[in-house]
C-alpha cells in the first residue's frame, strides 16, 4: 500500500454509526414481525368472517324449523286469539312458550352472529393497520 494515500485518507473522519442504530434495527425487525403477524390474523379473520356469514343461513333456517316443530308458533298465536283464555291461563302459556323455545338452535344462531360481528370488528381494525404503507409507519 502507498503510504502517501494511507496518510491522505487518515485525515478523513472515521465513519461510525449512531449509538442507537443496533436498537433501531431490532425495532424495525420487530415492526415487520408484527406486520406479518397482523397479515396472518387478517387472513384468519377473513376466513372466520366468511364462514360465519355462510353459516348464518343454515342456522337461521334451523331456528325457524325449530320454532315450527316445537309448536312455539302455535302457542304464540294463542296470545292474539282470546284475551279471556290468555288472562286465565297466562302462566301455563308462558311455561309452554318457554319449553317450546328451540334453545339449542337459538344459541347456535347467536353464537354465529356473535362470531360474525367480532370478526368484522377485528378485521376492520386490522385492515386499517395493514394498509398503512410500511414507510409511513414509525421511522427509527
**Which stretches of the chain bind other proteins, using CB under 8 A?**
1-2, 4-9, 11-18, 21-22, 24-26, 28-29, 32, 139-140
Minimum distance, C-beta of residue 11 to other proteins, in the bound complex (Å): 5
SS3 call for 12? coil
Closer to other proteins by CB, 4 or 81: give it: 4
Minimum distance, C-beta of residue 21 to other proteins, in the bound complex (Å): 6
Closer to other proteins by CB, 22 or 95: give it: 22
Distance of alpha carbon 8 from alpha carbon 6, whole angstroms? 5
- Smallest CA-to-CA distance from 35 within 140, 126, 136 is with 126
Distance of alpha carbon 94 from alpha carbon 76, whole angstroms? 9
Closer to other proteins by CB, 20 or 99: give it: 20
Distance of alpha carbon 72 from alpha carbon 83, whole angstroms? 18
Amino acid at each position: 500500500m502507498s503510504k502517501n494515500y494511507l496518510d491522505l485518507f487518515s485525515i478523513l473522519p472515521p465513519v461510525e454509526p449512531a449509538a442507537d442504530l443496533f436498537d433501531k434495527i431490532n425495532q424495525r425487525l420487530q415492526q415487520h414481525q408484527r406486520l406479518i403477524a397482523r397479515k396472518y390474523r387478517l387472513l384468519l379473520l377473513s376466513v372466520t368472517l366468511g364462514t360465519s356469514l355462510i353459516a348464518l343461513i343454515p342456522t337461521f333456517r334451523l331456528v325457524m324449523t325449530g320454532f315450527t316443530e316445537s309448536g312455539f308458533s302455535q302457542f304464540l298465536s294463542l296470545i292474539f286469539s282470546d284475551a279471556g283464555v290468555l288472562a286465565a291461563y297466562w302462566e301455563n302459556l308462558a311455561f309452554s312458550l318457554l319449553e317450546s323455545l328451540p334453545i339449542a338452535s337459538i344459541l347456535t344462531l347467536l353464537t354465529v352472529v356473535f362470531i360474525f360481528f367480532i370478526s368484522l370488528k377485528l378485521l376492520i381494525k386490522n385492515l386499517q393497520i395493514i394498509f398503512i404503507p410500511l414507510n409511513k409507519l414509525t421511522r427509527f
